[in-house]
Amino acid sequence: MSKSGTMSISMRAEAKDSEGKLIGVHEHPLDDMAIRAFAWGIQLNLLKTNETMTDVTGTANAETANTSISAVNLHAGSGVSVPSFTDYQIQSPLTNTGTTAYVTPATNAISGSAFTVTGTFTNTSGGTLTYGNVGIEITLNSHTYLLTHDQINSGSGFIISVNGTVGITYTIAFS
C-alpha cells in the first residue's frame, strides 16, 4: 500500500510464443527500480538544477537545466542480475534487429492518478533469446540515459523463440 503524496512505478512483462500464446507473466508491483538518472531528470527539468549525469556508455555529461528530451525507448538485455540504483546501462544489452532490443513505446496521458509506458519486443534475431532485464531510456543532448531498470522473471528471464514477443507495461502512479 502506498502512502499519500507518493509516486510509484511498477512493471509488467508478458511473454508470448510465435503463435501469440501466453507463456509467462512477470510483475514488479510498486517496487520498480527507478535509478539515479530518474532522480537527476527530476532535478534537471523540474527543479531547474544543472546536473552531471552518467550515460549508458559510462560517460559523465554536464547537462543544462530544462533541456528537452529527444527520444524515449524501452531497451532489453539478456542479463539476469538484480538491478541497482547506481546502474547506468542495461545488463548484457541485446543488439537491435527490428524490434528485438529497442522499441519506441507508447506513452499514454495521465488517467486518474497514473500513466503508462508500453511497448513490445519481437525476437527477429533468427535464434532463441533470453530477455532478462528491461528499462526506460531517454536521449538528452545526444546522450542516452537509463531511467528505470527491472529484472524480468525473478532472475531467470524469459526464453523467447524466433518471432516470440515480450510486452512491457510500466505504470507510473501518484497518490
Residue 50 lies in a domain: no
pLDDT above 50 for 107:
yes
Over residues 38-67, the pLDDT tens digits come to 777 777 766 777 888 888 999 998 888 777
Residue 45 lies in a domain: no
Residue 75 lies in a domain: yes
Evaluate whether 8 touches 117 at the Cβ level (below 8 Å): no
Residue 18 lies in a domain: yes
pLDDT above 90 for 131:
yes
Longest CA–CA separation in the chain, Å: 49
Count of Cβ atoms closer than 10 Å to residue 33 Cβ: 21
Closest to 141 measured CA to CA, from 76, 67, 33, 41: 67
> What is the span of the domain harbouring residue 113?
7-33+69-174
Evaluate whether 110 touches 169 at the Cβ level (below 8 Å): no
How many structural domains is the chain composed of? 1
**Which residue's C-alpha cell is 531498470?**
149
Residue 123 lies in a domain: yes
Residue 60 lies in a domain: no
Burial of 2 (0-12, 13-18, 19+ CB in 10 A): exposed
Residue 49 lies in a domain: no
What is the C-alpha to C-alpha distance for residues 12 and 46, in angstroms, rounded to an integer? 27
Distances 69 to 44, 64, 116, 147, 149 between C-alpha atoms, Å: 11, 12, 18, 12, 19
Over residues 3-32, the pLDDT tens digits come to 566 777 888 999 999 999 999 999 876 555
What is the C-alpha to C-alpha distance for residues 69 and 66, in angstroms, rounded to an integer? 9
pTM score, whole prediction: 0.83
Residue 160 lies in a domain: yes
Distances 153 to 13, 92, 96, 98 between C-alpha atoms, Å: 8, 16, 22, 23
> According to the model, what pLDDT value does residue 46 have?
64
H-helix or E-strand spanning residue 22:
strand 22-28
Distances 108 to 18, 119, 145 between C-alpha atoms, Å: 27, 11, 21
DSSP state of 30: S
What is the C-alpha to C-alpha distance for residues 108 and 110, in angstroms, rounded to an integer? 7
